[in-house]
Amino acid sequence: MNQESVRSSTFEKLFKKLKNDEKMFFNYFRMSIESFEKLLNLLENSSLPKCNTNMRKCITTKMKLATCLRFLITGSIFKSLGYSYRMGFSTVRSIVHETCQVIWNVLRPSIMPKPTREKWTRIAMEFDEKWNFPNCIGAIDGKHFRIRAPRNSGSIYMNYKKFFSIVLLAVVDANYKFVIADVGSYGRNSDGGIMQNSIFGKKLTSNALNVPPKKRLPRTDLELPYVFIADEAFPLTTNIMRPFSSDRLTDEEQKRVFNYRLSRARRFIECTFGIFANKWRIFHRPLNVDVEFAVDIIKAACVLHNYVKQRDGNKFEDTFEGLPNSIIETTQNVRRGGPMLTTVREEFANYFVSEEGKLDWQWNII
């Protein structure tokens, strides 16, 4: 029996054993049997290479998907996966890279499509219902992912904590799913630079994100814009709300209430990243690949996160564990907003302490 036959036989025996135990299968692949088979079907009908030759039998799409998922799930190095699946180091590396690319291309149109006005409106309704923050169409956060030092890149990937990184700028909805995943900004960029240079930031600035026009706050005639919520690292803009700085709170009750309501509504984005990193443990260590490969890994993991969340919900060992701080870091930068932007934020703050917008229990928290 040649090496290809041994490899195929060993893998098929393992796969058959896993399929006989639903929980074991989920723990091994981080998705249900049905979700794996649906994804496999999509990949088999895609551009993922899968041809035989006279000299060698091809590696099946099933094995390629399994290899890629195990790389993301375990964080194993290519050599270790090669021993497990009886493949060479370079073969595993090539399989993981091409499969990550195809997963993104196949899933993104349906799992992370370009948001429409209807989708933004639906997200805003869910934020208001679940987190009591009206006109909110998503929470924004930026995360640094460690990478190895790119060749001839100087210091452009060196971030404020003195390690090389690329940045994921993410928008998350009220259901712990990525709406937008903008990957690849240089680690040294501040949040202002990340926002300014990202596709998301450029579209937001040019009003090309299909964000709906202003809407009345519940039970009032006050019209305010739809907004994204963020922490103090992000700039205050027409469509981005951040907390009031602690040195400006003094005794102004409405500002403390605003900060609490915003913090309560955006805290789930940290939970989202926690679920994300707990499922895909490749992010518990630096990505020891080139920048383009690292970008493809992050994008594939983001769209797989949505795919599994949409199909399987929270099953088995999904948890809300936080991220290892040494590997993924929050972006840093503090910028002030102009008077008009501050007025929008103060309108929200005043609404949250009004009869129409207050929560009876919020006074016990602040």
pLDDT tens for 6-37 read: 566 788 899 999 999 999 999 999 999 999 99
Residues 130 and 65 in one domain: no
Does the pLDDT of residue 153 top 90, yes or no? no
Residues 69 and 211 in one domain: no
Residue 5 is predicted with a pLDDT of 56
Six-digit token pair at 59?
């590696």
Does the pLDDT of residue 46 top 90, yes or no? no
Domain count, the chain: 2
**Residue after which a domain boundary falls, among 111, 134, 156:** 111
Largest CA distance in the chain: 79
Residue 326 is predicted with a pLDDT of 39
Cβ atoms 167, 184 nearer than 8 A: yes
Encode pLDDT of 269-315 as tens digits.
988 998 999 999 999 999 989 889 999 999 999 999 999 999 998 76
Residue 187 is predicted with a pLDDT of 44
**Full residue range of the structural domain in which residue 168 is found:** 117-364
Please tell me the distance from the alpha carbon of residue 40 to that of residue 50, in angstroms, as a whole number: 13
Please tell me the distance from the alpha carbon of residue 226 to that of residue 240, in angstroms, as a whole number: 9
Residue 83 is predicted with a pLDDT of 87
Residues 97 and 244 in one domain: no
**In whole angstroms, what separates CA 209 from the centre of its chain?**
18
Residues 94 and 123 in one domain: no
Encode pLDDT of 97-124 as tens digits.
999 999 999 999 999 999 999 999 999 9
Residues 16 and 73 in one domain: yes
Read off the pLDDT band of 260 (50, 70, 90).
very high
Lowest mean pLDDT among 1-5, 29-33, 174-178: 1-5
Does the pLDDT of residue 86 top 80, yes or no? yes
